[in-house]
Each structure stands twice: as structure tokens, then as C-alpha cells.
């Protein structure tokens, strides 16, 4: 995908240009295995501000972009870890608006994202998450029930409702269940299965293209904002039956600035739903419910919790 955050080290990645912290107080390019090159820069001072750090990464990325399309960035260090990561992401987002590229930021140490585990988002996750437990990257565990119990611990009879579905009990000796209807047998609505399928709603690809047209923006503006590369977008556009990954579908919901209802509808076109047992879904829901649609901010938080980031590549 255009911008990737990873726990891997630069040595594990295949890039055309590398940006790494150097030991000497100078900026220099050095070739390792041509045509691969590494730009080394000195670490930041501890009092470096965001403007200085962002500017340094921006100049380095523009220089690296002249040597290759795939760029690996190792945090330079020295400045506060959160400032370092935030500014590297900000500079990368500027580059990706300017040109087609693939930037991989290496954050091997969990300590560099630990600060994200506190504050309003952490409280929201603790309140909303319906998994058996919520475990943060620091190891703190918050016990949460997997489901809400029925009053007096007894489900209502004769039907048990769970998640909106109804299950009816059947006693021994009752009539056997009817055989499933064939594709051409009339259903409850009087229509055959073939007729129902012909009247099915638009799929993900058709719905996405319609929503993009509605914005009046260029296709490239939307897929770049979704952290999706041009190759994957072309696959989606050219194949009406294309089924993207859930992270890609969510990325387009963010890029289109859909509200939660619109997000749920777009996800359903790809066969997905927002899951209250998924911490990643709750993090995305947190930002959408607050009208915050910067995908890079969302991905920083997802990465801090070791969840898959939004976007996609062909």
C-alpha cells in the first residue's frame, strides 16, 4: 500500500532507497547493493519541534524519491518517539499527495507507540469492546463480557434472540423440516431465487463508483486519501464483482467521509459488518463518529494497538 507501518527492521524489507539514522553529524548517500542506496542523517536533538522534524523527513523523502519509488524509512530518533513517528507519517502523506510512491516506516520498538494507549480512545475501546478481554500493547487487561446475559440467566421461550436472529425450539416428534426450495421454486414473496438475484442491490464496486461520482472529486484524490494504490483501484473499478479486503473497504469509507450508517452500508456491499468484538473496527468507529477522517491518524492508532492498518495495494 502507499504508506505502510511495520514492526520489521529495514534489513527485512525490499526497497529501492532507505532513510536511516547515521552515526556522524552529516547527511550522506551511500550505495550498498546498486541500485539500492541509503541516505543517513544524524538523530534529532531532544528539543526538536514538529516543524523541524517534519521538514527533515520531507527533504529526505524527496531526495530518496529521485532514487526509487519504494522507500524505507527508519525513525531517526533523538526527538520524542511520538513526535518522530507523527512527523514521519505527516511528511510521507505530503509526498504521497505529490506523486505515486510506496513508503514503509519501520517502528520496531513498541515503546515508540506506547503513548497512544492512553486517553479518550483507550476509554472508548474499554467501554465498547465486547471481546472476552481487552488487552493493550502494554499488557493491561480489562475483563469484558462476551455477551449480555438474559434476565435471571434464562433465555426467553419459545424463541431465543441473539444478535437480532430468532431461533425457535422444536420438540421430539414434531414435523420434519421442509426441504430447501430449488432455485426456481417460488419464495415467500412469490418470486423465484433467480428473480430475487436479478433484483439484488448494487455490489461494492458499483456503489463505490457512484459515491465517488457524487463527491465531484477525481478518482485519484479518493484512492490516495484511502491509502490505496492505483493498481488496486483499477481492479475494483474494472470488476463489478470485486470483493476487497475489509481494511480496504473501511479505507474507502474514511476517504469518502461517510458517517457510521454509510460506512455500514458500504461494508455490507462487500460482505462485511462493523464487529463489536473487533478492536480494529471500534478504533475506526471512534474516529468516524467524531468526524475525524485523516486515515494517517487512524492508522497510527491502529498500529499502536497492533491492528491491521487501512488501505490496500494491487
pLDDT in tens, 20-74: 887 655 555 555 554 567 888 888 777 778 898 899 999 999 998 888 899 999 9
End position of a domain, from candidates 42, 76, 108: 108
Note whether residue 186 is domain-resident. Answer: no
- What contacts 24+ positions apart, CB below 8 Å, involve 22-31? 27/60, 29/63, 29/67
Note whether residue 127 is domain-resident. Answer: no
pLDDT digits (tens, 9 = 90+) for 171-199: 444 444 454 444 444 444 565 655 544 44
Average pLDDT, the chain: 78
Measured between alpha carbons, how far is 305 from 1 in angstroms, rounded to an integer?
19
Domain count, the chain: 2
Look-up of cell digits 520498538: 109
Bridge-based pairing state of the strands 70-74 and 3-6: unpaired
Measured between alpha carbons, how far is 141 from 125 in angstroms, rounded to an integer?
12
Grid coordinates given for 104: 514503509
**What local confidence, expressed as pLDDT, does residue 167 receive?**
37
Quick check: 39 and 19 in contact, CB under 8 A? Answer: yes
**Once rounded to an integer, what is the mean pLDDT over residues 259-266?**
96
Grid coordinates given for 31: 550505495
End position of a domain, from candidates 88, 108, 128: 108
Note whether residue 11 is domain-resident. Answer: yes
73: CATH = 3.40.220.10
End position of a domain, from candidates 61, 88, 108: 108
Note whether residue 172 is domain-resident. Answer: no
Domain enclosing residue 37, as ranges: 3-108
Note whether residue 123 is domain-resident. Answer: no
Quick check: 40 and 27 in contact, CB under 8 A? Answer: yes
Distance of CA 118 to the CA centre of its chain: 20
Note whether residue 93 is domain-resident. Answer: yes
Please tell me what DSSP assigns to residue 310. S
**What local confidence, expressed as pLDDT, does residue 224 receive?**
95
Note whether residue 153 is domain-resident. Answer: no
CB atoms within 10 A of CB 99: 9
Note whether residue 139 is domain-resident. Answer: no
- Is pLDDT larger for residue 277 or for residue 139? 277
- Is pLDDT larger for residue 190 or for residue 156? 190
Amino acid at each position: 500500500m502507499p504508506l505502510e507501518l511495520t514492526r520489521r527492521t529495514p534489513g527485512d524489507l525490499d526497497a529501492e532507497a532507505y532513510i536511516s539514522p547515521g552515526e556522524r553529524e552529516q547527511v550522506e548517500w551511500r550505495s550498498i547493493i546498486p541500485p539500492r542506496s541509503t541516505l543517513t542523517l544524524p538523530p534529532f536533538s531532544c528539543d526538536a519541534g514538529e516543524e523541524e522534524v517534519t521538514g527533515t523527513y520531507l527533504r529526505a523523502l524527496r531526495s530518496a524519491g529521485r532514487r526509487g519509488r519504494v522507500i524505507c524509512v527508519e525513525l531517526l530518533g533523538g526527538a520524542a518517539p511520538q513526535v518522530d513517528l507523527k512527523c514521519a507519517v505527516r511528511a510521507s502523506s505530503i509526498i504521497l499527495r505529490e506523486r505515486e510512491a510506496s513508503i514503509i516506516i519501520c517502528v520496531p520498538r513498541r515503546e515508540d507507540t506506547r503513548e497512544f494507549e492512553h486517553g479518550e480512545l483507550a476509554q472508548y475501546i474499554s467501554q465498547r469492546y465486547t471481546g472476552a478481554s481487552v488487552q493493550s500493547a502494554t499488557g493491561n487487561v480489562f475483563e469484558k463480557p462476551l455477551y449480555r446475559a438474559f434476565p435471571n440467566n434464562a433465555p426467553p421461550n419459545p424463541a431465543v434472540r441473539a444478535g437480532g436472529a430468532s431461533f425457535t425450539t422444536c420438540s421430539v416428534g414434531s414435523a420434519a423440516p421442509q426441504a430447501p426450495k430449488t432455485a426456481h421454486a417460488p419464495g415467500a414473496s412469490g418470486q423465484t431465487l433467480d428473480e430475487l438475484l436479478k433484483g439484488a442491490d448494487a455490489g461494492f464496486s458499483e456503489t463505490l463508483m457512484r459515491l465517488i461520482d457524487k463527491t465531484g472529486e477525481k478518482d485519484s484524490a479518493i484512492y490516495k486519501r484511502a491509502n490505496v494504490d492505483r493498481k488496486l483501484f483499477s481492479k475494483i473499478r474494472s470488476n463489478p464483482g470485486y470483493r476487497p479486503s475489509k481494511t480496504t473497504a473501511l479505507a474507502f469509507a474514511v476517504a469518502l467521509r461517510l458517517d457510521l450508517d454509510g460506512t455500514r452500508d458500504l461494508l455490507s456491499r462487500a460482505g462485511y459488518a462493523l464487529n463489536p468484538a473487533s478492536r480494529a473496527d471500534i478504533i475506526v468507529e471512534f474516529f468516524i463518529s467524531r468526524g475525524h477522517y485523516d486515515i494517517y491518524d487512524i492508522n497510527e492508532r491502529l498500529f499502536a494497538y497492533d491492528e491491521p492498518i487501512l488501505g490496500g495495494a494491487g
